[in-house]
Structure 1
Amino acid sequence: MIKRIGLGALLLSFALPALAQWELDTTHSSVYFISVKNAAVAETHHFGGLLGYVGEDGAARVTIDLNSVETAIDVRNGRMREMLFETVDFPTATVTAKIDPAILAEVAKGATITAELPVTLGLHGVEKSLDVALTVFSDGASMRVMTPYPVLIKAEDFGLAPGVEALRAVAGLNSISTAVPVSFSLSFREVE
């Protein structure tokens, strides 16, 4: 069942009973994206550097170290850092939300909830609000937040289209898609 609620309501439902803070478990969390070149060649990439939390005050934040981009090709990693993300000026991307205390019982008891939730993505100096479908469940000691299907991020929305074009030109490709599917699986553990 998909419910329309705030990200905070969903995430706080885990933390509210004990007013706990939840910290991202980086060893069990991942963010992946797919690039498509020459209209037919799709490749999967990921980021190795993630930090995040859900605080007692209801603030939720995940920070992605864009310098940690991993494409399986060192030269391409460097080009993406320099030409696309411009990490000297924009080293991180952030996903934030303000938590609205609401849904508590079902997820805290181990239920699985899928919901479309508003989040703010800060990337390349631009902030944009996105509605993101998430599946959230808990085993009591930790909670996992996952995308049931990818989130489509458009390069032009974040001033990244010139970087995509620069990558296309330097690699001698006919095209690189400017719309990128992103998926993630985030595991949070309670911090006492």
Structure 2
Amino acid sequence: MMAKRIRTLSSALVACGLAFPATADWTMDTETSVLHFLSTKNAQVTEVHKFDDFDGSLSDAGKLMVNVDLSSVNTAIDIRNKRMQEMLFQVTKYAQATFEADLPENMMNLKDGEVMNGKVDGILTLHGKAVPTSFSIKASRVSEDILTVSTTAPTLIKAESFGLAGGVSALQKIAGLKSITTTVPVTFSVTFNQ
């Protein structure tokens, strides 16, 4: 009787395992991943900046979530970092930016060595505003447990869409600049490990 119950339980567990295959989420390799943005001041001086602290996860079903610590903005100039944290991003109130999207099924089902170009549509939440945002990307399945995703063209983020235009004006004034563009190109290259 006991052996029959164990066989029945074992069969039930095997059936559940077949019906619901084990899935392992992907996590972003924060050591090799990079997130850059450009700013242009006085109409002709363009500089490259980055965020030092961001992470993300990707489910086997393609649900992508990226979190960016806005206080980790790195412009290579300490006073400018501090001004951007306080006057532009207002990090005491809005500590993070997030991007959520669903990657297409064919992108998630790449075989080892395959590469695919495509577009990812999601929601970028920054400074309390959630705005539909798209990135043109290339996904590469490097191996069974490594997936890389990088932009194939910059995505233009408009300060006005996120209520940041006032912060840009404040930065321009305090730095004594004639202008700072309010549209910022963003690029990234990230690696996910399973």
Q: Does 1:185 align with 2:184?
A: no
Does residue 1:85 correspond to 2:89, yes or no? yes
The structure where strand makes up a greater share of residues is 1
What residue in structure 2 maps to residue 112 of structure 1?
115
**1:23/1:95 Cα in 2 relative to 1: closer, same or farther (>3 Å)?**
same
In terms of mean alpha carbon deviation, does 50-59 or 151-160 score higher?
Answer: 50-59
- 8 A contact 2:94–2:128 mirrored in 1: yes
CA offsets 1:69-109 (integer angstroms, 9 cap, x no match): 0001000000000000000000100010135544555x223
Instruction: Describe the shift of the 1:103–1:78 C-alpha distance in structure 2 as closer, same or farther (beyond 3 A).
Output: closer
What is the RMSD of the two structures over their aligned residues, measured on CA atoms? 1.6
Question: Structure 1 residues 104, 130: CA separation in 2 closer, same or farther (over 3 Å shift)?
Answer: closer
Q: Quick one: percent identity of the two aligned structures?
A: 41
2:136 corresponds to: 133
Gaps of 5+ in 1: 1-16
**What letter is aligned with 1:147?**
T
CA distance in 1, matches of 2:120, 2:101: 9
TM-score normalised by length of structure 2:
0.84
Q: Which whole-Å CA distance do the structure 2 matches of 1:104 and 1:163 have between them?
A: 38
**TM-superposed deviation, 1:149:** 1.1
TM-score (norm 1): 0.85
Which letter does structure 2 place at the counterpart of 1:111? E
What letter is aligned with 2:119? E
Q: Identify the residue that residue 42 of structure 2 maps to in structure 1.
A: 38
Higher relative contact order (CA 8 A, sep 6+): 1
- 1:18 deviation in Å? 6.0
Checking the alignment, whether the CA contact within 8 Å between 2:65 and 2:100 is kept in structure 1 is yes
41-50 vs 57-66, greater mean Cα deviation: 57-66
Matched residues in 2 for 1:58 and 1:139: separation? 17
Separation (CA, whole Å) in 2 of partners of 1:103 and 1:62: 17
Are the structure 2 counterparts of residues 182 and 99 from structure 1 closer, same or farther at C-alpha, using a change threshold of 3 Å? Answer: closer
Which has the higher Rg, Structure 1 or Structure 2? 2
Corresponding residue for residue 80 of structure 2: 76
Distance 1:37 1:91, change over 3 A: same
Q: CA deviation at 1:42?
A: 0.4
1:130 is paired with a residue whose SS is strand
Q: Deviation at 1:130?
A: 1.5
Q: Find the counterpart in structure 2 of residue 171 from structure 1.
A: 175
**Which structure 2 residue ranges, 5 or more long, are not aligned?**
1-20
Structure 2 vs 1, CA of residues 44 and 103 (structure 1 numbering), >3 Å: closer, same or farther? closer
Deviation beyond 3 Å, 4+ runs, structure 1: 98-105
